[in-house]
A and B are shown apart, each in its own frame.
Chain A
Amino acid sequence: MAADPSPAPTSLSFPRSTFAKLTPGPFLHAHLKQNPPIRPSGRTLTQFREQQITTGSLTHSHGSAVVRLGDTTVVCSVQGEILKAADIPSPPDESADNEDLLETLGLLVPNIELSTGCSPAHLPGNPPSTLAQSLSWKVRTLLYGSEIVNPEDLQIMFTAPKIDEEDDAPVPEVKAYWTLYLDIMFISLDGNPFDAAWLAVMAALRTTRLPRASWDADREAVVCSPALEHYAHLTLHTTPVTATFAVFSTANPLKQRSEAESWVLTDPDTSEEEVCREALTVTVDGKRVLGIDKAGGRVIGMEAVEECVKLTFARWKEVSTILP
């Protein structure tokens, strides 16, 4: 291009949507450069999206929740099915710890389904993508690791009646287990699937009501009572809350590292996630940190991580009051 000594080149002004589609990176950068920094959706750097939680809308599930986090909509359903102890191929030891029982038997089965047409990138007909598989696994790890569900809630006990007066009191034994299938389907995806999915799982688990099950010795089967009064909630020990942060950075291999600027964006949406190469997920419960998961990049250091943890604690206070 010929260098023109005349006045500065005229500025190009695009409508927002065109600019956002053509160059998402500089679009976001232009917003964050403002003072105070603002995001294209109008949120501040540390602002979470509005959430809406509706529970109990599905008829065939023992617990269900629909969570809307901005434009991300997800449905989680908890269905219980019976696993007979006699059917387990390698039963756990009698003396084994109860803590690992859930994980050894695999009694909590979460699955995240993204291929529902929730966004143009997730069309159906494909097996679960890497993202869906890794999300399912993260939810599973958090479910077992945080020990939310009480193993005794899921055990169906049976005490054989005393035959002779002189015999010792019969020992109650576990005849079957409840297995909880947590099916998480995304209706619409606009960034931050993990937070939305976990919120839905928490809301669904807290409103799950399992029927009262008892072992019928004659039929050698588990029979449940259909009476509504006999349905019982699960006792949940903990309330983990997650928060995801994305880091937008102008770092460039061609520039000096010191020249790079970076911002930490809370609860990113799709347009922000596409241009951020670094993400951080913090899970807390009350005053304990349950997990910090960082992926990609090398921008944020310990101070930024501490900030994020503080934000997550604040989020925990907010969410634990909203959860049903």
Chain B
Amino acid sequence: MPPYTNIPLSPAELSYLHTSLSSTPPIRPDGRTPTQFRPLVAETAILPTANGSARVCFSDGTEAIVGVKAEVEKTRGGGMEQDVNMGGDDGNDEGKGEVQWLQLGIDIPGLRDDDALPVFLGAMLREALLADGGLAARLNINARFHWRLYVDILLLSPPLSYPLPLLSLTTHLALLSTRLPALVSQGDEDPLFNDDWQASLPLYPSKASQPPITLLVISVQDTILFDPSVPELAVADAVLAISVLQTPGSRTWSVVAIRTVDPPSRLTAAGVPSSLGSAGGAVATATNAEVLLARERDEIGSVWRPPRGGVGRKVIARMVKMVVESGGVADEVMGGLEGVEIGMS
């Protein structure tokens, strides 16, 4: 069970939130517009011993730190795990890295490594990072050695809301600030590096190539909202996590991963319609079948009911469009992140 299903909201409160969020224009509890993000504090290069690091605090008190470290590892090429070609040479693919070279670890206080939330978040972030294949190629040193990148994500506050956008932003900034020492040796010999840190090269060298960012989008009936807070998540009909990557060289965005997240609203209790509640004068001797029929027939809007079914295709299309269109949400987030100074630890 997800940890955030300890939703301390009654069916009446849930119904109120749902109605206000699905009205036109939508009324969010804190008065934001649908695409407005809450202010956050971000700083990079805070850990002097890590190759790259970042810390982001959201305004609801959640805080995360990401540290990136790199180690040199011998490439297991031509070893036991590979098919041996008995004659001639392979069609060698130069520069293509293995996906094992990135190791992601998520630490959320109060949860074990194999609980649902860390596993899901870890898989999603990993997929997004490896999506374009460019990262794996950048970790290659020479034919015999490569960098192994360890990304350790620590959520410093208890997981009140779904921490995915926080962790993704922090990882993005940490990777942007990651620097790898400059290579001094030549060719395929054992790698030797320049110990002058000022000469180190960033992992993501130019503004053109950036790591992806993951956004959390919810839909409440026909309304689409970004950066949902805890009560907004509790009444969401559908929750989607979309990872986008800026195409190198242009300012267009492409989607690299999408996952649906189970909305916590499905685990809430339904309200009792007034026709069935004793306060409304209902008869206590109604059979189970009658009660069921009455609840099913209850029109939407009378009381809160956990959502059934899934998300419509048009809604998904609208969500994706809102993220990737030029001037859309991804551009806004990018603009905000550009203000963060990428320091050198």
Which A residues contact B (CB, under 8 angstroms)? 219, 221, 223
Which B residues contact A (CB, under 8 angstroms)? 80, 84, 86
Complex CA gap A174/B332 in Å reads: 67
Complex CA gap A277/B217 in Å reads: 60
Query: What are the 4 A-B residue pairs with the smallest beta carbon separation, nearest first?
Result: A223-B84, A221-B80, A219-B84, A223-B86
Residue of B nearest to A222 (CB): B80
Can you report 5 A-B residue pairs in the complex whose CB atoms are below 8 A from each other? Answer: A219-B84, A221-B80, A221-B84, A223-B84, A223-B86
Complex CA gap A70/B86 in Å reads: 49
Min CB–CB distance A273 → chain B (angstroms): 34
Contact residues of B: prevailing secondary structure: loop
Complex CA gap A221/B78 in Å reads: 11
Residue of A nearest to B79 (CB): A221
Complex CA gap A221/B84 in Å reads: 11
Min CB–CB distance B115 → chain A (angstroms): 13
Residue of A nearest to B80 (CB): A221
Residue of A nearest to B84 (CB): A223
Give chain A residues whose Cβ lies under 8 Å from the Cβ of B86.
223
Give chain A residues whose Cβ lies under 8 Å from the Cβ of B80.
221
Complex CA gap A223/B84 in Å reads: 8
Min CB–CB distance A175 → chain B (angstroms): 14
Complex CA gap A221/B80 in Å reads: 8
Residue of A nearest to B83 (CB): A226
Give chain B residues whose Cβ lies under 8 Å from the Cβ of A219.
84
Give chain B residues whose Cβ lies under 8 Å from the Cβ of A221.
80, 84
Give chain B residues whose Cβ lies under 8 Å from the Cβ of A223.
84, 86
Give chain A residues whose Cβ lies under 8 Å from the Cβ of B84.
219, 221, 223
Min CB–CB distance B117 → chain A (angstroms): 18
Complex CA gap A223/B86 in Å reads: 10
Residue of B nearest to A216 (CB): B84
Min CB–CB distance A186 → chain B (angstroms): 24
Min CB–CB distance A320 → chain B (angstroms): 40
Min CB–CB distance A213 → chain B (angstroms): 13
Min CB–CB distance B119 → chain A (angstroms): 15
Min CB–CB distance B85 → chain A (angstroms): 11
Min CB–CB distance A226 → chain B (angstroms): 9
Complex CA gap A219/B86 in Å reads: 11
Complex CA gap A134/B80 in Å reads: 35
Min CB–CB distance B28 → chain A (angstroms): 40
Complex CA gap A223/B82 in Å reads: 11
Min CB–CB distance B34 → chain A (angstroms): 41
Complex CA gap A187/B84 in Å reads: 37
Min CB–CB distance B56 → chain A (angstroms): 35
Min CB–CB distance A21 → chain B (angstroms): 24
Residue of B nearest to A224 (CB): B84
Complex CA gap A232/B86 in Å reads: 22
Residue of B nearest to A82 (CB): B80
Residue of B nearest to A226 (CB): B83
